């Protein structure tokens, strides 16, 4: 999971932190993940973090799924692997009563997500603070 969540070379330092974070969530059931495997090789993966968001008008159940770690190895892209993995993740979440999903989409992934019913959502804003150890100054 950490290799997919932190697949860029620039993310190498973050991989152990991600591995430490995701492990307990897998065991608690708040991280759901699926892999496409051929022999010993992982061809792709997709996951969802279940967030206790609280009931809203649009989501009275209060649990939201954040889609994460959608990845297909370069040699297997364009074969529908990511779509099939996402369909499995969505079906698993929906079977658990989750009715609201969000994600951060790369340009390459937007077509797949649109095809699965995701729509652009521009109503959110973000604030980030400097890293721990730095002054808490918004970026």
pLDDT tens by residue, 111-122 = 999 999 999 888
pLDDT band at 6 (very low <50, low <70, confident <90, very high): low
Q: Where are the domains of the chain?
A: 2-115
pTM, 2 dp = 0.82
Tokens of 105: 């989409």
| Fold for the domain defined by 2-115 | Aminopeptidase (3.40.630)
Give the whole-angstrom CA distance, residue 116 versus residue 35.
18
Average pLDDT on 66-89 reads 94
- From residue 103, how far is each of 12, 42, 113, 121, 133 by CA, in Å? 22, 22, 9, 10, 29
Torsions phi, psi of 112, nearest 5? -60, -45
Tokens of 71: 């990845």
pLDDT of res. 116: 96
pLDDT tens profile 43-54: 999 999 999 989
Residue 131 Cα to chain centre, angstroms? 22
Average pLDDT on 4-13 reads 66
């Amino acid at each position: 999971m950490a290799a997919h969540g932190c697949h860029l070379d620039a993310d190498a330092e973050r991989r152990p932190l991600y591995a430490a974070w995701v492990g307990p969530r897998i065991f608690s059931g708040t991280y759901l993940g699926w892999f496409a495997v051929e022999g010993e090789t992982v061809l792709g993966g997709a996951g969802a973090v279940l967030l206790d968001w609280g009931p809203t008008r649009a989501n009275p159940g209060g649990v939201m799924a954040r889609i994460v770690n959608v990845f297909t190895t370069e040699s297997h892209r364009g074969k529908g692997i990511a779509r099939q993995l996402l369909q499995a993740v969505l079906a698993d979440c929906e079977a658990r009563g989750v009715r609201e999903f969000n994600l951060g989409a790369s340009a390459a992934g937007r077509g797949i997500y649109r095809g699965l019913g995701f729509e652009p959502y521009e109503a959110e804003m973000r604030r980030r603070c400097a890293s721990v150890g730095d002054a808490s100054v918004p970026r």
